[in-house]
Structures are given as structure tokens and as C-alpha cells.
Amino acid sequence: MQLATLYPILYKILQPCFPNCLWAGSGDSPAIALTFDDGPHPQHTPELLQVLDYYQIRASFFWLGNCVDQAPTVAREVYQRGHWIGLHGYYHYSFPSLSPDTLKQSLLSTQQAISQACQTNPEIIRDVRPPNGLFTPHTLKLLYQWNYRPVMWSVVPEDWERPGISVVVKRVLQQVQSGSLIVLHDGHYGGQDVAQTTAMLVSELLQQGYHFITVDQLWMQV
């Protein structure tokens, strides 16, 4: 069941209710953030990297720990290219369904997997996006308590349902504005199309006068 038409409505409802999450950047600058969930993937992510390299764009990736463990070389390539890295949990489990101890261990395990693959300090990886965007006030309280930064979205074209590349591109272009935080997927669901989708989107958005920044840079605007 595709719910793409509901996400803009949900954004408008949730964003003012949870202002301490990152939903978007400043509307005063034509800067937008491309983010990719559910990777790294051994095939889809390298294809995506070629597109980002071609356009010299830095994006942000929210990784699953088990995928990092399965594709550490790909993870290291993403990190070495200067892309921003965040956490999506070790497995793609809904955060509210996990006990606090299990959730904390999931995030720590993902940090450790990224640290080992990318040879970086795990403590600098603090941005967290809940799988499927599902959270509760208690979830956020725990993330703040553990010194994580919750990152959400403002444009969700539901690419994981694979409605067609042109449909995904059209959905993004209809919603995008200065400060937009766009969610795409380079994992098992939706990742088959991510390189081509990104190439079409970036080309069009550059023509419209937008430029691309990372989630870390987006935080600096709010």
C-alpha cells in the first residue's frame, strides 16, 4: 500500500510537535540534503557513488549495522569520499518495538560496525534516523539521553515501493523547496533504482538552482 500522498501531511503535523528533531534546514537558502537509508549495499551503493562522484555531491547515509558488517569495503568507500554517516539501527526494526536496552545495544553495535569498517571514532556518529520514521516521545527521550541526534525528513517519495523512477522523481520535484531533507534508499528495497533516480533528480535540481549539503551542515542551519 503506497502512502506517498500522506507524507507531506504527516510532516506538517509532526514537525512542529517535535522541534528538537531535524526535519529540514533553513528555507532562506537553496540548500537541500540528499539522504539514503538501509545500506550499504554491495551493488546499489557503489552505483550510487558513481553518480554522486560525477556531480561532486556529498550526501548523507543512514546505515544498518548488519549491512555494514556484510559490506565493510563499500562502507569505507562511502566514508572516504566525505559523505556523512548516521545510524539506522543494527537491523531494520521499529525502535518503539524494542526495549531500551535492546535499542541502545542496536545503536552501539551499529556504531562499532561503522567504526571498524571506516576506521573512525564511533563517538562521532551521533545522527539517528528511526526505521520507517517510527518513533514515540519516549524513543526521543532515550536518544537525547544517550547523546544522539534524531534526524527525520521533509520529502519522502516512497521509492522503496518501486513505483517507477519517473514517479519518484516527480514526487520529489513536486515537494522540494529550500532546506528540504530528502529520503531515498540504497538497500534491498528501492536500491535497484537509486542510482538512476538520483542522477535524474540531481540534474533537475541543479538546473533549478539548488545545491547539496550534508545532514551535519543542515543541523548548523537550525
Q: Which residues are catalytic?
A: 37, 185
Q: Closest Cα partner for 106 from 70, 132, 160, 143?
A: 143
Grid cell, residue 218, equals: 543542515
CA distance 47 to 139: 34
Q: Helices marked H in 4-95 — which ranges?
A: 7-17, 44-55, 65-70, 72-80
Residues 52-85 as b/e (b if ≥16 CB within 10 A, e otherwise) read beeeebbbbbbbbbbbbbebbebbbbbbeeebbb
With helix as H, strand as E and coil as C, how does 52-64 read? HHHHCCCCEEEEC
93 in helix, strand or coil? coil
CA distance 171 to 177: 12
Backbone phi and psi for residue 32, each to the nearest 5 degrees, phi listed first: -130, 160
CA distance 97 to 200: 36
